[in-house]
Amino acid sequence: MNFHLDARLEQDTLPAGRLELCEIHLLNDARWPWLVLVPQRSDCSEIFDLNDDEQLQLARETALISKVLQKLTEAEKINTGALGNIVRQLHVHVIARFENDANWPGPVWGFGVAEPYSKVAASRLISQLQSEMKSHVF
Amino acid sequence: MNFHLDARLEQDTLPAGRLELCEIHLLNDARWPWLVLVPQRSDCSEIFDLNDDEQLQLARETALISKVLQKLTEAEKINTGALGNIVRQLHVHVIARFENDANWPGPVWGFGVAEPYSKVAASRLISQLQSEMKSHVF
């Protein structure tokens, strides 16, 4: 399979798992629990560039990751989005939002400066995510 | 069916059509061609609050509307998102983005002040959208 993660996504995220269609990455920004799903397909920038089956699989995996993140963080609201104005490789954001978070109720994209996790905090969160993902029948 | 459009969505949008699951509304902001899909289901605020079939139907309808908007506007990029931090009734945004638009490449949500369409311009755009929607096999 000729799939390579975009260099900017590689730089800004930490690997957090893999599902049937998507790689799962944790955005390295401790301001929000924020996951990025990247379908392992080349040359797709819009969701409708995927074939019909892949589009539905992406919807299933986005819902799964949303539920996992909601359960783990007890977020007030999950935000999902596929923008891609800067990084054109198709990717879907799933973000846990809280009423006291850095830019509530505004969007997270482009806001301020990322605050990287400590190695310990990132490792702990990824471990929790993977444990929660395994516990969901999929 | 006990579904009523949220008052804020009612105020900020113009009706633009209806699919099997979703009402389609045009955001009354001429800065971006911007559609909002609202599943006709009460008491849902997250996509995963829909049942599995409805989630997949929402994915199909979002892809359809994205393709229609892309074709009509020749947008550089389609942005989709389900945020709901302010309006909790589940709704999905589909926005046509251009490299010279009001906040490129940043997000549209919460940016500046809406610039309402003239009646003529809104009517023309909705008519074009509906014509394009009809031409897509669904």
pLDDT of amino acid A136: 75
Say if CB B41 and CB B50 are below 8 A apart: yes
Token pair, residue A16, equals 């957090």
List the end-to-end C-alpha distance of chain B, in Å, as a whole number.
23
* CA separation for the pair A71, A51 (Å, rounded): 30
pTM for the model: 0.97
With a cut of 60, say whether residue B138 has pLDDT above it: no
The beta-strand segments (E) located in B61-126 are: 77-82, 92-97
**What is the nearest CA distance from B46 to chain A, expressed in angstroms?**
7
Token pair, residue A117, equals 């996790």
- Residue of chain B minimizing CA distance to A48: B63
* CA separation for the pair B73, B99 (Å, rounded): 13
Contact call for B79 and A77, based on CB within 8 A: no
**Mutation site for A-interface testing, chosen from B8, B48, B62 by largest number of A Cβ within 10 Å:** B48
State pLDDT tens for residues A38-93. 999 999 999 999 999 999 999 999 999 999 999 999 999 999 999 999 999 999 99
State pLDDT tens for residues B84-117. 999 999 999 999 999 999 999 999 999 999 999 9
With a cut of 70, say whether residue A11 has pLDDT above it: yes
**What is the nearest CA distance from A59 to chain B, expressed in angstroms?**
6
Is B79 in the A-facing interface, judged by CB distances under 8 Å?
yes
What domains lie within chain A, and their CATH numbers? 7-135 (3.30.428.10)
With a cut of 60, say whether residue B137 has pLDDT above it: no
Is A82 in the B-facing interface, judged by CB distances under 8 Å?
yes
* CA separation for the pair B127, A121 (Å, rounded): 52
